[in-house]
Amino acid sequence: MVNNFIRTQVHIDVARDMEYTNGILPSKLAVDGLHLDIEGKNKIAAAVNANWARITELAQQSSIE
């Protein structure tokens, strides 16, 4: 339920802290330029964690309505 909610939230910007050119991530985030390595996954986790209270509150409200 929470993952589905997160996917609908365009304002949880997981790409903001990832610098890339022409849609290709740097090797420090993704060895193949596409699939995130641990540093990239940590950036996603940080973005979600920073919004966690709001995510769970809104998700609960959505399930009530």
Q: Which residue has the higher pLDDT, 34 or 23?
A: 34
Burial 2-27 (b: 16+ CB within 10 A, else e): eeebbeeeeebebeeebeeeeeebee
CA 36 – CA 23 distance, rounded (Å): 13
pLDDT attached to residue 40: 84
The token pair that represents 53 in the structure block = 């209270």
- pLDDT averaged over every residue in the chain: 77
Q: Is the pLDDT score of 55 beyond 60?
A: yes
Give the number of other Cβ atoms within 10 Å of residue 36's Cβ: 17
pLDDT mean over 29-36: 83
